[in-house]
Amino acid sequence: MTLLEIKNLSKIYHGKNGAKVQALSDVSLDITAGEVVGVVGESGCGKSTLGRSLLRLIEPSGGQLLFEGQDIVPLKKSALKPMRRDLQIIFQDPFGSLNPRHKVGKVIGEPLEVHGIGTKQQRQEKVRELLDLVGLPQNAIDRHPHEFSGGQRQRIAIARALALDPKLIVADEAVSALDVSIQSQIINLIAKLQKQLNISILFISHDLSVIRHVSDRIAIMYLGRIVEMGETEEVMQNP
Ligand code: ADP
Ligand code: ADP
């Protein structure tokens, strides 16, 4: 079943001095429920713009985003709220935009609070389950994210992204800032949870070696376009 259909998506940024940047041109891509799609391409080719557009963190300039058949591009921000539960994102630097004073329990439980889910006790229960799921100790709840290593912080970000039982997670360079040995731990964790919970993942990386082992299909981007798309083995065989 198709979960998300990206149809002819385009994005033009209007920079300073009236300069226009065409970051996405006519990008079309389907994501099936439970599928991992890798998106790879050099820096500046439009990967982040694509990933962020799916959550409407960036407003597309044209095209459609059919989520379970409904185009979410024309929806008002307020009408997006139910979809926000189903679509989550993990960034390279997960705590860049989060309040550094918040403890890990708060960071992970916040999406539940924002969406008014459960009682306080049920939310705390869920936070404890999520810590187990991502392999963090229970006492992480009362500590601050900056007390943790890069890999552990990415586990916190994954737990937060899973709090609302999403259908699709965009992993935007989620392991790029980590040491190679830690990278594989986090990639394996994401792959394990993806299977266990049957989530779709759009796995964005500038590094093919990061996504090739976990992606069912791979899209290669160049200058705002998808220039190649296919099953992972197929794409890997092409020179
Ligand atoms: P990638 O994730 O592949 O590195 P991005 O989606 O970040 O690529 O960027 C695609 C293009 O859009 C680049 O040329 C980048 O400089 C440009 N760009 C990204 N964000 C903005 C912005 N807010 N204003 C103007 N140009 C932008
Ligand atoms: P704070 O008091 O730190 O601002 P809140 O009490 O508003 O945080 O809780 C926000 C969310 O964070 C809760 O709904 C819960 O999911 C999670 N949370 C906070 N403290 C704990 C805790 N001690 N154990 C488990 N989860 C917690």
> Which domains does the chain carry?
2-237 (3.40.50.300)
Contact 39, 203 (CB under 8 A): yes
Q: What is the ipTM of this complex?
A: 0.79
* Model confidence at 94: pLDDT above 80: no
Please state which of the ranges 14-23, 38-47, 50-59, 184-193 shows the lowest mean pLDDT. 14-23
Residue 66 one-letter amino acid: L
Residues pairing with 20 in the sheet: 14
User: Does ligand 2 lie within 6 Å of residue 120's CB atom?
Assistant: yes
Determine the residue of 9, 10, 21, 208 to mutate for testing ligand 1's pocket, defined as the one with the most ligand atoms within 8 A of the Cβ atom.
21
Question: In which band, very low, low, confident or very high, does the pLDDT at 93 lie, cut at 50, 70 and 90?
Answer: confident
Q: Of all helices (H) and strands (E), which one includes residue 183? A: helix 180-197
Q: How far is CA 140 from the centre of its chain?
A: 23
C-alpha 14/C-alpha 184 separation (Å) is 37
Q: What is the pLDDT of residue 12?
A: 98
Closest protein CA for atom 5 of ligand 2: 106
**118 close to ligand 2 (CB < 6 Angstrom):** no
Helix segments in 115-179, DSSP class H: 120-133, 150-162
Q: Whose CA is nearest to atom 2 of ligand 2?
A: 106
> pLDDT class for 98, splitting at 50, 70, 90?
confident
Q: Is 124 in the pocket of ligand 2 (CB under 6 A)?
A: yes
Rounded distance between C-alpha atoms, residue 45 and residue 180, angstroms: 23
Bridge pairing between strands 62-67 and 2-14: antiparallel
**Which residue carries 């329990």 as its tokens?**
105
Residue 47 has pLDDT above 80, yes or no: yes
81 lines ligand 2 (CB under 6 A): no
* Separation of CA 228 and ligand 2 centre (Å): 45
Report whether residue 23 contacts ligand 1, using a CB cutoff of 6 Å.
yes
Confidence of residue 232 (pLDDT cuts 50, 70, 90): very high
The pairing of strands 217-222 and 36-40 is parallel
**Is any ligand 2 atom within 6 A of the Cβ of residue 106?**
yes
pLDDT at 95: 76
User: Which residue has the least CA distance to atom 9 on ligand 2?
Assistant: 106
pLDDT, the chain, mean = 95
Find out whether the beta carbon of 51 lies less than 6 Å from any atom of ligand 1. Answer: no
CB of 21 closer than 6 A to ligand 1? yes
CB 155 within 8 A of CB 136: yes
pLDDT of residue 172: 97
Q: State whether the beta carbon of 105 lies less than 6 angstroms from ligand 2.
A: yes
Q: Which residue of 104, 110, 127 sits with most ligand 2 atoms within 8 Å of its CB, as the best mutation to test the pocket?
A: 127
pLDDT tens digits for range 134-154? 999 999 999 999 999 999 999
Structure confidence at residue 99 (pLDDT): 79
Other beta carbons within 10 angstroms of residue 230's beta carbon come to: 14
Q: Binning pLDDT at 50, 70 and 90, where does residue 198 land? A: very high
Q: Which of 26, 73, 30, 76 is nearest to 53 (CA)?
A: 73
Q: Which residue has the tokens 């962020």?
A: 52
